[in-house]
Chains A and B, each alone.
Chain A
Amino acid sequence: MTLIQASGVCVHYGGRRALFDIDFSIAKGEIVTIVGPNGSGKTTMLRALLGVVAPSRGSVTRKAGLQVGYVPQHLHIDPGLPLPVRRFLSLPTRRSAAQIAAVLDRVGVPDVAAQNMTTLSGGQFQRVLLARALLMQPDILMLDEPTAGLDQPGVASFYRLIEDVRRDTGCAVLSVSHDLHVVMSASDRVVCINGHICCEGTPNVVRAAPEYRALFGMGTGGALALFQHQHDHDHEHEHHKEDAPHAG
């Protein structure tokens, strides 16, 4: 069952074409990672799929009643706003203390409920954001660079957590990463974009590069994989879509 479907989507930002000819869909339970360099339109694509930005051409359709658990890239909290974790998790819908305790336990930060959001470490903060998304009981988790600012063991354990969540709840996971070398090994599909979709396919698993695996350490438990791709082609041929193995 398709959760979100984009057909021929173009998005313009202040006269600049940020995205064009995006045909994309994500199905129930699928894990898809969007990768691309900075300024390639990854976040715009996520926001278009989310419905925050309207496409200037093409259409985005979401399954009726789709519950989205969204984890934004940045969440700046003004120092003037006192916000304990438990209050944050109750936005915008009130959650019971039991629900909050359970979800914080689930994401591995059981002791932060009373803490102010601004006192959390980077890793704790990401987990609390994920906890809030999980409380939405999402059909799909949408994560915008969820591991930005985390160290590599942090990245690995965060991705392992996402995999666990997907296994337990069956929700789809759509995440965005600027790091072409680090994507979730559990990804069913990697979509590489640079204004348009350059190519998509299964992540090219680590077998060819044991030195990278050594770099991330065995401690990652295989949660990280490599997806090798070079942005070495120009965009004269905008409608060309590279043929890549597709995981269906």
Chain B
Amino acid sequence: MLDDFMMRALLAGLAVALATGPLGCFVVWRRMAYFGDATSHAAILGVALALGFQISIFVGTLVVALLMAMIVSVMAGRGWAMDTTLGVLAHSALAFGLVAVSFLPAVRVDLTAYLFGDILAVSRMDLAIIVAGSALVLGLILWRWSALLTATLNEDLAHASGLSPARERMVLTLSLAVVVAVALKIVGALLIAAMLIVPAAAARNLARTPEVMALCAVAIGGFSVWGGLQLSLWQDTPSGPSIVVVAALIFSLFTFAAALVQKRPGR
């Protein structure tokens, strides 16, 4: 079954959707969209370093994404103006990464695979790593779910309830770095943040509780992976952007439908 590249691609995409669904909800609830951008754009720098030092791409992106996530986390804790700072970091990380990659002439051709993903080229080994990473993130979030949700609402409230907001922040930071490392192959560095935010934002229209929203985000993410793969296969479109296009269409559809439903009782 795993000999079929389509099957491997689908399984890898679904595994990532399982992790990005709930994590994406926290990104939306905590307004960490730019945080996700900064971390995922830093992945390109990780790719450059990994290729330069001949180490695994997963390890390279994980380390750099983790470093970036930690830097941003610490700066947020110190009360920096986050919108601007994150904007600077996100785009600088991308620019530095692109310049660093250009020093490695042999891989210049392959850069699009890292920027936009290359889900159809997922190997058995890649699949194993992607599934393991996604399972780790999903497990971490499920385990800390209640604490994460409390800390997301109000850190002082979490503290008074005997939780450590700093620890919960670290859980999210770590999860984000792992997701960036495993999703790079699926949607590419430029669109990882979209994979986090778009399904969660679409799910908001359907859900009345945080748990249902996370489940819907997983379902929408999973469907987008499937739909994007079909689009990519039959129309020969780039796979990562195709997945995000499907997610964006679902978002528009649900948002439009929700607006219609809300309007009706008023008339």
Binding site for B on A (CB under 8 A): 14, 47, 50-52, 68-70, 72, 75, 77-78, 80-84, 87-88, 90-94, 116, 136, 142
13 contacts between A and B (CB under 8 A): A50-B156, A50-B159, A51-B159, A72-B154, A77-B153, A80-B204, A82-B204, A82-B207, A82-B212, A88-B153, A92-B147, A92-B158, A92-B163
Within 8 A of A (CB), among B193-223: 200-201, 204, 207-210, 212-213
**Known interface pairs A80-B201, A92-B147; A70-B156 also in contact (CB < 8 Å):** yes
Chain B residue with Cβ nearest A46: B156
The listed residue (B28, B160, B163) touching A78 by CB distance below 8 A is B28
Q: Which residue of A lies closest to B206 (CB)?
A: A82
- The answer for the CA separation of A21 and B73 in the assembled complex, in Å, is 32
- Tell me, rounded to whole Å, the shortest Cβ–Cβ distance linking A115 to chain B: 10
When the two chains form their complex, are residues A92 and B159 in contact, meaning their CB atoms are under 8 A apart?
no
B68 to chain A minimum Cβ distance, whole angstroms, is 24
- B158 contact set on A, CB distance < 8 A: 92
Q: Are A78 and B31 in contact (CB under 8 A)?
A: yes
Q: A87-B210, A91-B150, A92-B149 are in contact. List 19 more A-B contacts (CB 8 A).
A: A52-B155, A52-B156, A52-B160, A68-B160, A70-B161, A72-B154, A72-B156, A77-B153, A81-B152, A81-B210, A81-B213, A82-B212, A83-B153, A83-B210, A88-B153, A91-B161, A92-B150, A92-B161, A116-B208
Q: B266: which A residues are within 8 A, CB to CB?
A: none
Residue-by-residue, is B7-49 near A (CB-CB < 8 Å gives 1, otherwise 0)? 0000000000000000000001111000000000000000000
Q: Is there contact, CB below 8 Å, between A50 and B160?
A: yes
Instruction: Tell me the smallest distance from the CB of A74 to a CB of chain B, in Å.
Output: 8
With both beta carbons as reference points, the residue of chain A lying nearest to B79 in the complex is identified as A14
B115 nearest CB across to chain A (Å): 28
Cα A88 to Cα B152 with chains together (Å) = 12
A198 to B230, CA, bound (A): 71
The answer to the question of B235 belonging to the interface, with a C-beta cut-off of 8 Å to chain A, is: no
Q: Which residues of A contact B201 (CB under 8 A)?
A: 80
Instruction: State in angstroms the CA–CA spacing of A48 and B213 once bound together.
Output: 35
Taking CB atoms, residues of chain A closer than 8 Å to B159 are 50-52
Q: How many Å from the CB of B169 to the closest CB on chain A?
A: 14
**Closest Cβ–Cβ distance, residue B26 to chain A (whole Å):** 10
Query: Residues of B contacting A84 with CB < 8 Å?
Result: 208-209
Which residues from chain A contact B28 at a C-beta distance below 8 Å? 78, 80-81
Residues of A contacting B209 in the complex (Cβ-Cβ under 8 angstroms): 82-84, 87
Q: How far is the CB of B22 from chain A (nearest CB, A)?
A: 13
Q: Which residue of A lies closest to B149 (CB)?
A: A91
Closest A residue to B201 using CB positions: A80
- Contact residues in A for B79 (Cβ distance below 8 Å): 14
Q: Is the CB of B160 within 8 A of A82?
A: no
Query: Which residues of chain B are within 8 angstroms of A50 by Cβ–Cβ distance?
Result: 156, 159-160
How far, in whole Å, are A204 and B169 apart by their CA atoms in the complex?
45
Q: Provide the bound-state CA to CA distance between A72 and B28, in Å.
A: 22
Whether B29 and A75, one on each chain, are in contact in the complex, defined by CB atoms closer than 8 angstroms, is no
CB B171 to nearest CB in A, in angstroms, measures 14
C-alpha spacing A77/B161, complex, angstroms: 18
Contacts of B200 in A (CB 8 A): 80
- The distance in angstroms between the C-alpha atoms of A136 and B159, with both chains bound, is 13
In Å, the complex CA distance between A69 and B156 comes to 11
User: Nearest CB to that of A77 among chain B residues?
Assistant: B153
Residue B262 interfacial (CB < 8 Å): no
Whether a CB of chain A sits under 8 angstroms from the CB of B157 is yes
Q: Is B84 close to A, CB under 8 A?
A: no
Contacts of A14 in B (CB 8 A): 79
Contact of B160 among A80, A83, A116, A142 (CB under 8 A): A142
A70 to B157, CA, bound (A): 6
Q: Distance (Å) between the CB of B194 and the closest chain A CB?
A: 16
A78-B29, A92-B146, A136-B161 known; A47 vs B156 contact (CB < 8 Å):
yes
**Distance from B99 Cβ to chain A, minimum over Cβ atoms (Å):** 35
